[in-house]
Structure 1
Amino acid sequence: MMQGIGNRLEAKTDHLQETLSREIQAEERISEVEDRLVEITNAEDKRDKRLKGNEQNLRELWDNVKCTNIRTIGVPEGEEREKGTEKIFEEIIAENFPNMGKAALTQIQEAQRVPYKINPRRNTPRHILIKMTKIKDKEKILKAAREKKLMTYKGTPIRLSADFSAEILQARREWHDILNVMKGKNFQPRLLYPARLSFRFEGEIKTFTDKQKLREFCNTKPALQQILKELL
């Protein structure tokens, strides 16, 4: 009888050890899977960061390529067929800035309608893209356009603007409320290329690339923090 009990205990012990061994193996496999998931997640995070970095670099490269461009908005379709888009831009300058002279116009590198195909769903004319040789000539013309405010081409209202990517345009729009408040406080705010805020504070020119950096600066300047508290 004792031998029978011993055999049963030994069988249960073997079964328990076998079960324990399977649990250990299962835990090891689970641990391996978890480690692998962590590796995959880390790899995906690194890949996402590389993709975002590449996208940012591409946007910066593209904006640098376009940094000398001027968009002419509102010129009726067909005007360029007889005289060419470059001639149209010359007429715009002559009509709106007669004192500017031809110096800036000699720096036109390229002029064309964009996009290349007319969208029948749009009633507005395609923009004319003017590529200048030098940034300073583009800035001179755009500064004159901002000061004049109302521009025309043969009596038709038009606009001149810088040529930015959609991301940069959005980044610039995000500064508009802050710009308006600062103008009212005589901080002499400006938007620098492509989307940096610059203003004069305590006798110095301050420049910020995003709201987070401006927020951190305001935390050290209670007076400025109070002025911008609703906007940051």
Structure 2
Amino acid sequence: ASIKSDVATIKGDLNTLTNRISSVELRVNNLESGAVDRNERLDKLEEYMEYQAKYASELWDRIQDLENRSRRNNIRVIRVPEGTENNFSSNTVFLMGLLRDCLQLGPEISFEIERAHRSLGPKPSEGQRPRPIIACFLRFTDKSRVLNSAREMGSLSWQGEKIMVFPDMLPELAAQRHGSTPVRHKCKMLGLRYAMQYPAIFRITVAGQPRQFTDPEEALTFLQELPQAKEGRREIPAPRREEK
């Protein structure tokens, strides 16, 4: 009787253990199914986030392009003392006279400025750097003529102040173009024609054949592989720099 009782107890325990194992297996299966489902959802979410990041980057590039294009007729005039424009009827009249004086433009050269103003921000205290003047030309050709004249003169002076004239663009594009400075220096050393095209495409003309680069490192590598670079000589005669 004792043996039968023990066997019955063991059978009961085995049944209980079997039921518990079956319950654990069911829960494990549910967890595995849930994990597979979550992994699939995570994969889809990662794909969606990657698409959104790419789309946002494309939108940002388009916004920057639109803003830079909206500034194509603009220039920035740097280091003009604050308040010097107050004695004139308008900022445009003041700036047109300043540019004519600095660039030594005769009356036969005409250009029109639609509007001009100091950059946004609080007026600097005495002794601080003056805010740039931003001007919008009526015609792109007028803006290009002024920039070319400023570039040819090199150093500009107005009422004892050294001023500078630059095209107006977003800081991101300005930094991108600034990265091509070593390429410009190398082109000057080799006497090659070069030009910076919008937005930041560097064009080099070698033996009458133009080459375009968007990566300054790639452009430098190309220049270093030229025969005249290896021989340490310049093109003769050295052509003038091309304008964009």
Q: TM-score range by the shorter chain?
A: 0.7 to 0.9
1:140 corresponds to: 145
Q: How high is the sequence identity, in percent, across the aligned residues?
A: 20
Question: Which amino acid in the other structure matches residue 179 of structure 1?
Answer: R
1:94 corresponds to: 100
- Structure 2: which 5+ residue stretches go unaligned? 231-244
Q: Secondary structure at the match of 1:179?
A: helix
Instruction: Report whether the alignment pairs 1:53 with 2:23.
Output: no
- TM-aligned CA distance change 1:79 to 1:37, over 3 Å: same
Q: Choose which of 133, 147, 162 in structure 2 pairs with 1:128.
A: 133
Distance across 2 between alignment mates of 1:148 and 1:222: 30
Question: Which amino acid in the other structure matches residue 17 of structure 1?
Answer: S
Q: Choose which of 41, 66, 73 in structure 2 pairs with 1:68.
A: 73
Distance across 2 between alignment mates of 1:167 and 1:68: 18
Q: Larger Cα Rg: Structure 1 or Structure 2? A: 2
Conserved in 2, the CA contact under 8 Å of 1:191 and 1:198?
yes
Shift of 1:18: 2.2
Q: For structure 1, which segment, 130-139 or 45-54, has the greater mean C-alpha deviation from structure 2 after superposition?
A: 45-54
Taking structure 2 as the reference length, the TM-score comes to 0.79
2:163 corresponds to: 158
Question: Which amino acid in the other structure matches residue 198 of structure 2?
Answer: Y
Distance across 1 between alignment mates of 2:229 and 2:37: 55
Distance across 2 between alignment mates of 1:127 and 1:222: 38
Distance across 2 between alignment mates of 1:159 and 1:69: 14
Distance across 1 between alignment mates of 2:136 and 2:53: 34
Instruction: Report whether the alignment pairs 1:111 with 2:116.
Output: yes
Q: Choose which of 23, 31, 35 in structure 1 pairs with 2:36.
A: 31
1:210 corresponds to: 215
Distance across 2 between alignment mates of 1:222 and 1:71: 34
Deviations 1:116-170 (A, max 9, x none): 5314497111111110122221111111101101111223211111001110011
Taking structure 1 as the reference length, the TM-score comes to 0.83
Distance across 2 between alignment mates of 1:226 and 1:34: 59
Conserved in 1, the CA contact under 8 Å of 2:76 and 2:134?
yes
Q: Secondary structure at the match of 2:72?
A: coil
Conserved in 2, the CA contact under 8 Å of 1:92 and 1:152?
no
Distance across 2 between alignment mates of 1:32 and 1:101: 77
Aligned length: 224
Q: Secondary structure at the match of 2:225?
A: helix
Question: Which amino acid in the other structure matches residue 77 of structure 1?
Answer: E
Shift of 1:17: 2.5
